[in-house]
Amino acid sequence: MKEKIGETEILERIRETLEKSVGTIDTETQYRLTQARKSALSPGRRQRFNLWPSFRLSFAILCAATVVLVFTIWYQPSPTVQPVISGIEDVEILANTDSLEFFAEIDFYFWLAEEVDHSG
């Protein structure tokens, strides 16, 4: 059966292994690691975050959206005008006791009335 290893013993083994591996690192790598550690731990040298590229992108998106909005508002197609038939004409048709054949050909009479108006 395997022995149970305590937490402190595991940590000690890890520490020993890491210290052995540090001894085999060449001096250039050790120097770079030391510089990286100093740079990470120094509170005075923080890298600045540059907002300029994100501002330019946001500004470009805003300009494009404005152009699209202006274009859609400016160049709307004009609505087609359809003749409005008032409700009074419907009442007149329903109240009329004449033959329904007249109303079957009503489009022809509307066309004839337009032709008379345009010609004279």
Separation of CA 58 from chain center: 12
Residue 3 — pLDDT band, cuts 50, 70, 90?
low
The string of pLDDT tens digits covering residues 7-63 is 889 999 888 888 887 778 888 888 888 888 888 887 765 556 666 677 788 888 999
Which residues, 6 or more positions from 93, have their beta carbon under 8 angstroms from its beta carbon?
Answer: 103
Domain ranges of the chain: 7-41, 88-119
Phi then psi dihedrals of residue 85, to 5 deg: -100, 120
Distance CA 18, CA 16 (A): 5
Residue 105 contacts residue 115 (beta carbons within 8 Å): no
Burial of 21 by CB count in 10 Å (0-12 exposed, 13-18 middle, 19+ buried)?
Answer: exposed
| Average pLDDT over the chain, rounded to an integer | 78
Distance CA 1, CA 14 (A): 23
Q: Does the global pTM surpass 0.75?
A: no
Helices (H), the chain: 7-23, 27-41, 52-74, 87-95, 101-104, 106-119
State the Cα angle at 35 between 29 and 41, rounded to 5°. Answer: 135
